[in-house]
Amino acid sequence: MRRKDRELSQEEALVIIKNTKMAVLSMISREGLPYATPISPAYIDGKIYFHSSSSEDGVKKSSLINNGNVILTYVGYNENDLEYLPQLSVNYVSAMVKGKASLVSDGGRL
């Protein structure tokens, strides 16, 4: 990170992850192109879960099967600032998670 004075601790980042309702999942498609999509992740017992179509043709699922490397970006803000967001540029906090995603196919639902 370029601005070390703005870097959050892991504990601070986890607060954002646990309290942010939306995130952007970024990955590489099976065509080798960048692909990013908004998701509603769930943080449960130290793991992050998100929904995906069961279709083999879905971009998210096929990308994860092809290459499970992902970056998940959470962006949090004070909900009282919603009416001003179009005018603001840096009034937010963010946390990024890099890792390997895998499909959960045990039929369970969250």
Concatenated DSSP letters for 20-58?
A: -S-EEEEEE-TTS-EEEEEE--EEETTEEE----S-TT-
Q: What is the rounded distance in angstroms from the CA atom of residue 45 to the CA atom of residue 57? A: 30
Question: What element of type H or E holds 81?
Answer: none
Residue indicated by tokens 């370029």:
2
Q: Which two tokens stand for residue 2?
A: 């370029």
| pLDDT given for residue 104 in this prediction | 83
- State how far the Cα of 41 lies from the Cα of 98, in Å rounded to an integer: 14
Q: How many residues does the chain have?
A: 110
Task: Give the pLDDT confidence of 8-67 residue by residue, as tens digits.
Answer: 788 888 988 998 899 999 999 989 999 999 999 999 999 998 887 777 778 888 888 888
Question: Mind listing the pLDDT tens digit for each residue in 50-86?
Answer: 887 777 778 888 888 888 999 999 988 766 555 655 6
pLDDT at 84: 56
Which pLDDT value is given to residue 51?
83
Indicate the pairing of strand 23-28 with strand 34-39: antiparallel
What CATH class is the domain 4-100?
mainly beta
